[in-house]
């Protein structure tokens, strides 16, 4: 048994437990120390993820391939950005506790397991590990009613979704006789003789995962949780778990159910279209910027799903590139949202941004770049994300998806541009509190990535190409 395949996860788990012990044993507040140690552990895990040999281990339950490596790196990067943002935010909100980085760390372990799952059981295990940590994180500001409500809502609805997923897994197991991806693929290799039970199972699995990426109609939790959770946690919800969930969805749909593409692809199309339209339209009415970002996330997941709906290596490549760009531009936007503090209190209405360009041109600039990019304006990275996706859709002959995608981007541009208009053309409101260096760091890194992606797209696109090829073998 090649146990070394899971070295990054093992190391990260051990580190997590070690950091937990450090946090508990030290008498003084050790949040900063634990956060730094967690960041170190992330770095270590990232290096190990890149350098681990490839192969299948643990009796076919665990797979390391370029796809899993790509996804793991992205998950870790997203988590690290959130953690850096949280350092200062949590202290100011007086919710600074050392458990925060540890919870994040274990959540990341769960996501990494998801990314490497090659068995429905492994998948479930990873999913549950990350979800358990997320429930606590959502309610981390436990004295805040909205945060508690967010945690509770996410817990209940997630439990429902997990139930559906488990039910789907059991149906698949019952009708295919196995939970191993390769063997399911063999069982489904003759689409004519696939039983309806297996098909229903696939739908339920899909639904369970669609909940995690907040695709319509399983998105209802998203605005409430985004609004209620502490801002860095909101960002975390928006990045790593979505990457992990969509990666798992891609792997499950392409690998074990790959022979049934013609059948599930319609469902993905429907979910994708519904998400794009819902995300674009619903965001218009929002006054709270975190809620707006929730709908924005729903819309963006719709775009990413176009890549899966295309069902080709080019499509998956587009999806992976989309996720990379999405993580960075969302992080940029949330870095700016985190900076929205006035007199020691966090504010989150769009109108609070009035005239920001005059009070803090740098922050307004970063926010404007993030918004333009989210809207898909050339030459920012968000444009290329959409370009690769639409390209794949057109190549696969899915004109409807591409056209709806373009149209909803136009509608979506409205609310992104509104933020910019508020910042640049409205009368200045009161100034925000001074920004912390960590926040400025995140905003700068993400803004630079978003702005200059067009100069060096090759590494990202090349890695995504390799990852997509690995899935299609």
Euclidean distance between CA atoms 111 and 294, whole angstroms: 21
**Nearest distance, CB of residue 63 and another protein, angstroms:** 27
Q: Which residues have a Cβ under 8 Å from the Cβ of 403 and sit 6 or more positions away?
A: none
Decide: is 218 part of the binding site for another protein (CB under 8 A).
yes
**Nearest distance, CB of residue 267 and another protein, angstroms:** 6
Select from 99-107, 197-205, 419-427, 430-438 the region that touches another protein (CB under 8 A).
197-205
28-55 b/e (C-beta count within 10 Å ≥ 16 → b): eebbebbbebbbebbeebbebbeebeee
**Nearest distance, CB of residue 222 and another protein, angstroms:** 10
Nearest of 295, 311, 160, 268 to residue 214 by alpha carbon = 295
**Nearest distance, CB of residue 408 and another protein, angstroms:** 10
Euclidean distance between CA atoms 281 and 455, whole angstroms: 32
Decide: is 145 part of the binding site for another protein (CB under 8 A).
no
Residue 67 or 204 having the CB closest to another protein:
204
Q: Which residues have a Cβ under 8 Å from the Cβ of 266 and sit 6 or more positions away?
A: none
Residue 286 · residue 207 · CB < 8 Å:
no
Candidates 63, 164, 293, 429: give the one binding another protein (CB under 8 A).
164
Residue 216 — φ and ψ, nearest 5°? -65, 135
Residue 55: which region, alpha, beta or left (left: phi > 0; alpha: psi -120 to 50)? left
Number of residues that bind another protein (CB under 8 A): 37
Decide: is 203 part of the binding site for another protein (CB under 8 A).
yes
Candidates 124, 140, 226, 278: give the one binding another protein (CB under 8 A).
278
Decide: is 221 part of the binding site for another protein (CB under 8 A).
yes
Q: Name residue 62's beta-bridge partners.
A: 57, 117
355 DSSP 8-state letter: T
Euclidean distance between CA atoms 41 and 21, whole angstroms: 15
Decide: is 166 part of the binding site for another protein (CB under 8 A).
no
Decide: is 406 part of the binding site for another protein (CB under 8 A).
no
Candidates 27, 59, 190, 196: give the one binding another protein (CB under 8 A).
196
Residue 76 or 164 having the CB closest to another protein:
164
Decide: is 264 part of the binding site for another protein (CB under 8 A).
yes
**Nearest distance, CB of residue 207 and another protein, angstroms:** 5
Residue 113 or 280 having the CB closest to another protein:
280
Candidates 8, 16, 126, 223: give the one binding another protein (CB under 8 A).
223
Decide: is 418 part of the binding site for another protein (CB under 8 A).
no
Euclidean distance between CA atoms 457 and 468, whole angstroms: 16
Decide: is 245 part of the binding site for another protein (CB under 8 A).
no
Q: What is residue 195's three-state secondary structure?
A: coil
Decide: is 369 part of the binding site for another protein (CB under 8 A).
no
Euclidean distance between CA atoms 1 and 174, whole angstroms: 27
Residue 51 or 266 having the CB closest to another protein:
266
Render 226-279 in DSSP notation, one character per residue: HHHS-HHHHHHHHSHHHHHHHHHHHHHHHTTTGGGHHHHHHHHHHHHHHHHHHH
Candidates 11, 411, 445, 466: give the one binding another protein (CB under 8 A).
411
Render 210-241 in DSSP notation, one character per residue: HHHTT-TTS-THHHHHHHHS-HHHHHHHHSHH
Decide: is 270 part of the binding site for another protein (CB under 8 A).
yes
Q: Name residue 55's beta-bridge partners.
A: 64
Candidates 199, 329, 369, 419: give the one binding another protein (CB under 8 A).
199
Residue 282 or 337 having the CB closest to another protein:
282
Q: Interface with another protein by CB under 8 A: which residues?
A: 153, 156-157, 160-161, 164, 196, 199-200, 202-204, 206-207, 211, 216-218, 220-221, 223-224, 263-264, 266-267, 270-271, 278, 280-285, 411, 414
């Amino acid at each position: 048994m090649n146990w070394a395949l899971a070295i990054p996860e093992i190391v990260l788990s051990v580190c997590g437990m070690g950091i937990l012990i450090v946090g508990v044993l030290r008498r003084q507040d050790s949040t900063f120390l634990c956060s730094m140690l967690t960041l170190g552990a992330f770095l270590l895990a990232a290096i190990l993820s890149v350098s681990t040999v490839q192969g299948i281990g643990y009796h076919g339950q665990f797979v390391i391939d370029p796809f899993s490596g790509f996804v793991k790196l992205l998950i870790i990067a997203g988590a690290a950005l959130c953690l850096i943002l949280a350092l200062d935010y949590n202290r100011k909100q007086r919710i600074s506790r050392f458990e925060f980085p540890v919870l994040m760390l274990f959540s990341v372990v769960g996501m990494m397991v998801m990314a490497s799952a090659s068995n429905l059981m492994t998948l479930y295990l990873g999913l549950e590990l990350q979800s358990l940590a997320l429930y606590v994180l959502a309610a981390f500001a436990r004295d805040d009613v909205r945060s508690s409500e967010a945690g509770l809502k996410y817990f209940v609805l997630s439990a429902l979704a997990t139930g559906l997923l488990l039910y789907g897994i059991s149906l698949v197991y019952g009708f295919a006789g196995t939970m191993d991806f390769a063997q399911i693929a063999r069982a489904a290799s003759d689409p004519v003789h696939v039983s309806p039970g297996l098909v229903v199972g696939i739908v339920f699995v899909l639904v369970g995962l669609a909940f995690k990426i907040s695709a319509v109609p399983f998105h209802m939790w998203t605005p409430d949780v985004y609004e209620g959770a502490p801002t860095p946690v909101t960002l975390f919800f928006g990045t790593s778990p979505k990457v992990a969930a969509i990666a798992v969805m891609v792997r499950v749909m392409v690998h074990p159910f790959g022979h049934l593409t013609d059948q599930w692809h319609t469902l993905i199309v429907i979910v994708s279209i519904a998400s794009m339209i819902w995300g674009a339209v619903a965001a218009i009415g929002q006054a709270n910027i975190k809620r707006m970002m929730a709908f924005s996330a729903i819309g963006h997941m719709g775009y990413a799903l176009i890549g899966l709906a295309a069902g080709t290596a080019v499509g998956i490549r587009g999806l992976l590139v989309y996720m990379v760009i999405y993580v960075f531009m969302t992080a940029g936007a949330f870095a700016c949202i985190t900076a929205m503090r006035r007199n020691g209190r966090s504010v989150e209405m769009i109108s609070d941004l009035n005239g920001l360009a005059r009070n803090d041109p740098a922050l307004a600039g970063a926010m404007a770049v993030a918004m333009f990019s989210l809207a898909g304006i050339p030459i920012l990275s968000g444009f290329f994300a959409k370009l690769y996706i639409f390209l794949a859709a057109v190549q696969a002959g899915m004109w409807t998806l591409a056209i709806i995608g373009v149209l909803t981007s136009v509608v979506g541009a409205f609310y992104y541009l509104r933020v910019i208009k508020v910042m640049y053309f409205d009368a200045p409101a009161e100034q925000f509190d001074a920004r912390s260096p960590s926040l400025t760091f995140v905003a700068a890194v993400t803004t630079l990535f978003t702005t200059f992606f067009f100069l060096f797209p090759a590494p990202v696109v090349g890695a995504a190409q390799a990852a997509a090829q690995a899935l299609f073998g």
